[in-house]
Amino acid sequence: MNDQLMTAVPAHFDGQAIQLDVPLELPPNARLLVVILDPIAAREALVYGAMKSSEPSFARVWDNDEDAAYDALSSE
């Protein structure tokens, strides 16, 4: 592990045990914090997170001088 206080890693429950989805070496008796995600809320969080992270890209695409010509057409 590293010197950080907390490290988040994706994991899943296989029906018998919690399985980490990424390789990670843990010492015996390592202290863990398990958070159970509601499937619907987690999916919505992923969708809204993806939308939020794409805002800067959309702003660059839509806010440009070439599109300003269309703005002028709509104001006539």
pLDDT for 3-39, tens place per residue? 667 788 888 899 999 999 999 999 999 998 888 877 7
41 in any annotated domain:
yes
12 in any annotated domain:
no
47 in any annotated domain:
yes
Q: Mean pLDDT of all residues in the chain?
A: 79
11 forms beta bridges with: 20
26 in any annotated domain:
no
Q: What is the pLDDT of residue 1?
A: 54
Residues in the chain: 76
Indicate whether 2 pLDDT > 60: no
What domain range includes position 68? 35-76
4 in any annotated domain:
no
Distances (CA, A) of 22 to 11, 12, 59: 8, 11, 34
Query: Where does 1-76 have alpha helices with state H?
Result: 39-62, 65-74
Token pair of 53 as six digits: 């992270």
Number of structural domains, the chain? 1
13 in any annotated domain:
no
14 in any annotated domain:
no
What percentage of residues in the chain have a pLDDT greater than 90?
Answer: 22
